[in-house]
Amino acid sequence: MRKINCLIVDDEPLALDLIERYVNQTPFLELKGRCHGPLEAMDIMDKEPVDLLFLDIQMLDMTGIEFSRTLKNGPKIIFTTAFEKYALEGFRVDALDYLLKPFNYGEFLRSANKAKGWFDRGEPAKEMKEDKQAYLFVKSEYKLIRIDLANILYIEGLKDYVKIHLQDKSAPILSLMSMKAIEEELPEQDFMRIHRSYIVNLSKIEIVERGKIRIRDFYMPVADNYKERFQEFINKSSF
């Protein structure tokens, strides 16, 4: 498993400690250092390969936004801040994500998974794994569980949770995250949202009949606002 080399930049010791603990809990992240400001960060990046910055915005010598603009072809960035007003400006400098303090591990993991998805897609083709070997980690019952994307049948939304139905398990995996969050981590060519409550693995569809999809013995409706896109997929796949 390729690890993402991380650097934490924050002038608050408690924030550094928290993010370091979260990074160490996450199997696909490798901590390369922690520092209190941009100058210290630049010194570390001169010596160590860094793929991803967890970067505070509000710092004394230079803001995280200002620092990010000095990084040409540098690491990807996840901003961390206590001030929601900086969110839009953060995305204008092409940040991968934005974590609003205080954040918990579930929120951190969603951002980390987003970064992992970017790096998996962004690696040179010769280094990438086949799509069927792609995976993500989800938190379930205080554990991180690796799920191979090719093993997913469909995903069901349940208020603040998702139920991930797998090909090789009788019981689904339950995880505290939104449908939107998990949808963003799935490759569009393989998965499609067909309803407010359902995302399907397109390769697992067995029957399409009267506006419904069957996977295994379970039927799911295609909602009106998703029908056009789904029909395009059907048209391309039909003979």
Q: How many other CB atoms are there within 10 angstroms of residue 52's CB atom?
A: 25
Question: CA-based angle 14:17:22, to the nearest 5?
Answer: 125
pLDDT at 90 over 50: no
Evaluate the omega torsion of the peptide bond into residue 102 and state whether it is cis, within 30 degrees of 0. Answer: yes
d(CA 108, CA 23): 9
Q: Which residue has the higher pLDDT, 46 or 214?
A: 214
Average pLDDT along the chain: 85
SS3 174: strand
Residue 55 — φ and ψ, nearest 5°? Answer: -120, 120
Q: How many percent of the chain have pLDDT more than 90? A: 52
User: Structure tokens of 5?
Assistant: 């080399």
* pLDDT mean over 195-214: 94
d(CA 211, CA 227): 8
d(CA 11, CA 104): 19
Enter the DSSP assignment of 41. H
**Cβ atoms 226, 195 nearer than 8 A:** yes
Domains and CATH numbers, the chain: 4-126 (3.40.50.2300), 130-237 (2.40.50.1020)
In this prediction, residue 4 carries a pLDDT of 95
Q: How many other CB atoms are there within 10 angstroms of residue 26's CB atom?
A: 22
* pLDDT mean over 119-123: 73
pLDDT at 187 over 80: yes
Q: Which residue has the higher pLDDT, 8 or 119?
A: 8
Residue 18: closest CA among 31, 3, 5, 2: 31
Query: Residue 90 to residues 87, 96, 109, 127, 143: CA-CA distances in angstroms?
Result: 5, 9, 19, 30, 31
Q: How confident is the model at residue 92 (pLDDT cuts 50, 70, 90)?
A: low
Q: Which residue has the higher pLDDT, 108 or 169?
A: 108
Widest distance between CA atoms in the chain: 63
pLDDT at 85 over 60: no
Beta pairing class for 152-158 and 161-166: antiparallel
